[in-house]
Amino acid sequence: MRLQAASPLEMQRLTRFLPCWRRPPAAGVPAKNVGFRKVASGVSSLGSASPRSLNIFDRDLKRKQKNWAARQPERIKFDYLKEEVGSRIADRVYDIARDFPLALDVGCGRGYIAQHLNKETVGKFFQTDIAENALKNALEMEIPTVSVLADEEFLPFRENTFDLVVSSLSLHWVNDLPRALEQIRYVLKPDGVLIGAVFGGDTLYELRCSLQLAETEREGGFSPHVSPFTAVNDLGHLLGRAGFNTLTVDTDEIQVNYPGMFELMEDLQGMGESNCAWNRKALLHRDTMLAAAAVYREMYGNEDGSVPATYQIYYMIGWKYHDSQARPAKRGSATVSFGELGKINDLMSRGKKSQ
């Protein structure tokens, strides 16, 4: 594949984007120590990793990225994706025919779920995030809310506290997802429910492929520039391993069109979703980025000149066990064999005639 030289407009966009590609500066607001149970029960300091976890992500960098994004004067224009997913999680909360006196949002950002809920459904809302600037710039909502600075892997709450836990597009950045799910189950009351969403494995596949092809062509090899994501079958397994039952996992795709690759990458940074994996490449060469933009437009471009970006979303629902929940019947208690299932219509019609 021969790549064309960049146009003056693309060069201008690249010049505008390159300063934004650098690591965001550290937040100027000191973190506060907020907690409701002792470190001995599993709570650790912000940004640390549990001893058993794979250290994939730089959690301190992710906190700085989210703080940087929350401080931007035009931060609202980057909220479109998180607001959409937050509203879909809220719809799933409304699908459950009960109210929740006490709820928790893990990795709340600026409160993308709570703004879509009402006080008739949720009595009081606790919101946690690792970024203090996100909590300070939370969106307005009608539910009484308490903001807590906390890491998703080390929730500082007592056992059996919340009726509902929600999480939107946050858990894909934790190093130890099994531990995070166990922590959520720990703070849920019996018969409490987790409703969450994470990015799926096909998220931003267009950007990933374009960067890999361009870097291979220009530099003779490629590095990961898009974060690794969980597979849908692994997510169900992890929920079961954490002790949740009556599981539901479904997938959805949201496709957004952008003027070009640089605008997409700028929006990802504005969302606080830039890559923070330890094995990320520090810098992308100018020629490689221009080549990737050309590949992106050539392979995936729309007729109107825009380029699509696919966000795959996995939605999950899991319940903490309670004696009142429905359970499968004992083995051997069935009264009809599978071989007779095809005859059910005949048996039902005969029963109606006999009546």
| Residues linked to residue 166 through DSSP beta bridges, in sequence order | 105, 195
Count CB-CB contacts under 10 A for residue 284.
19
Give the pLDDT confidence score for residue 14 in this predicted structure.
Answer: 42
Contact between 175 and 53 under an 8 Å Cβ cutoff? The reply is yes
Give the pLDDT confidence score for residue 299 in this predicted structure.
Answer: 94
CATH for 54-323 (3.40.50.150, 3.30.1450.10, 1.10.10.10, 3.30.565.60): 3.40.50.150
Spatial separation of the C-alpha atoms in residues 86 and 8, rounded to whole Å? 39
Q: Write the Ramachandran bin of 107: left for phi over 0, alpha for psi from -120 to 50, otherwise beta.
A: left
Spatial separation of the C-alpha atoms in residues 156 and 154, rounded to whole Å? 6
- Phi, psi dihedrals of residue 318, rounded to the nearest 5°: -145, 145
Q: What is the pLDDT along the chain (355 residues), one digit of tens a residue?
A: 434 444 444 444 444 443 333 333 333 333 333 335 443 333 344 444 454 557 878 889 899 999 999 999 888 899 999 999 999 999 999 999 999 999 999 999 999 999 999 999 999 999 999 999 999 988 888 899 999 999 988 899 999 999 999 999 999 889 888 899 999 999 999 999 999 999 998 899 999 899 889 888 877 655 555 656 777 888 889 999 999 999 999 999 999 999 999 999 999 999 998 888 776 766 677 888 899 999 999 999 999 999 999 999 999 999 998 776 666 666 766 676 766 666 667 766 666 655 5
Count CB-CB contacts under 10 A for residue 112.
25
- Phi, psi dihedrals of residue 123, rounded to the nearest 5°: -75, -45
Both tokens assigned to 259: 């003027």
Domain ranges in the chain are 54-323
Give the pLDDT confidence score for residue 31 in this predicted structure.
Answer: 34
Both tokens assigned to 116: 């879509």
| Residues linked to residue 310 through DSSP beta bridges, in sequence order | 255
Give the pLDDT confidence score for residue 252 in this predicted structure.
Answer: 93
Estimate the crossing angle of helix 8-21 against helix 286-300, to 10 degrees: 120
From residue 348, alpha-carbon distances to 63, 218, 342, 353 in Å are 61, 70, 11, 9
Give the pLDDT confidence score for residue 222 in this predicted structure.
Answer: 59
Terminal Cα distance for the chain, rounded: 75
- Sheet containing strand 162-168, strands side by side: 145-149, 122-129, 100-106, 162-168, 188-199, 307-319, 245-258
Spatial separation of the C-alpha atoms in residues 158 and 186, rounded to whole Å? 8
What residue type is assigned to position 285 of the chain? H
Give the pLDDT confidence score for residue 22 in this predicted structure.
Answer: 33
**Is the pTM of the predicted complex or chain greater than 0.85?**
no
Burial 172-202 (b: 16+ CB within 10 A, else e): bbbbbbbbbbbbbbbbbbeebbbbbbbbbeb
Give the pLDDT confidence score for residue 242 in this predicted structure.
Answer: 92
Contact between 242 and 185 under an 8 Å Cβ cutoff? The reply is yes
